[in-house]
Amino acid sequence: MTWTDLSFCLIKICKLRISGEHMNLEDYSKDQLWQLLVETVHAAVMYPTHKAYIRDSVLPVQKDITATELSERLGMPIGEALVILEELTRLNRVDRHV
């Protein structure tokens, strides 16, 4: 796996999520590069705090926020914003079906 491969995958993911389109998480969750991004984000010190703040304060007010807006608003890496939005979107879908 090269940095070029990683960059290409992240650009592809970002284009979908930044544009507000929902990416097919099943496709990306199987990709090694997505898994690497998730693992890296989960290791970040501020990840739990950012995720809780986004869940409790941002999404109730602005459900359609994009990763770019979130990244700029909180000063966080766009990769972290992508992962958190996908995780919270997935949790929200599960909660609605229960």
d(CA 33, CA 37): 6
Residue 23 has a pLDDT of 54
Closest by CA to 51, choosing from 26, 19, 83, is 83
23: left (phi over 0), alpha (psi -120 to 50) or beta: beta
The secondary structure of 53-89, three-state, reads: HHHHHHCCCCCCCCHHHHHHHHCCCHHHHHHHHHHHH
Q: Whole-model pTM?
A: 0.70
56 HSE (CA, 13 A, CB side): 6
d(CA 48, CA 40): 13
| Structural domain count, the chain | 1
| Domain carrying residue 39 | 3-97
Residue 32 has a pLDDT of 77
Tens digit of pLDDT per residue, the chain (98 long)?
A: 455 555 566 666 666 555 555 555 566 666 777 888 888 899 999 999 999 999 999 999 998 898 889 999 999 988 899 899 989 987 766 555 55
Give the list of residues 6+ apart from residue 89 with CB closer than 8 angstroms, or none: 22
